[in-house]
Structure 1
């Protein structure tokens, strides 16, 4: 089996198509990095919103428990 390129400079030159090849590689890697970054930011925002919603529900539950009048013992059968 023969190697496609005889040396590192030949590999980097990509047979005269280096600009297009490395530009495509750079665009692909930048796109993947942007996608990863966006995913991480969106996940963080979603988790923050879920925590905020759970805290609000807990506050509402605590408020409802305090607002409910206690049943006097004479009314309990």
Structure 2
């Protein structure tokens, strides 16, 4: 019974750390996209849409900043 408790606790801890890691990465990516938008609300929505597109296209994390910068440069206010 002791091993069962240890295994369950270990698995729960590993899952929690994985979940926290994924959340922090998402928050960092979101903050990166919003930082490129400045105070423009339209551009913020556009950049969040671009971030969703980047995730759908499976843009690598190392390339994400450059990819978002290109998208931000192509933003047309309107």
Q: TM-score, normalised by structure 2?
A: 0.48
Larger Rg: 1
Higher normalized contact order (CA 8 Å, seq sep 6+, divided by chain length): 2
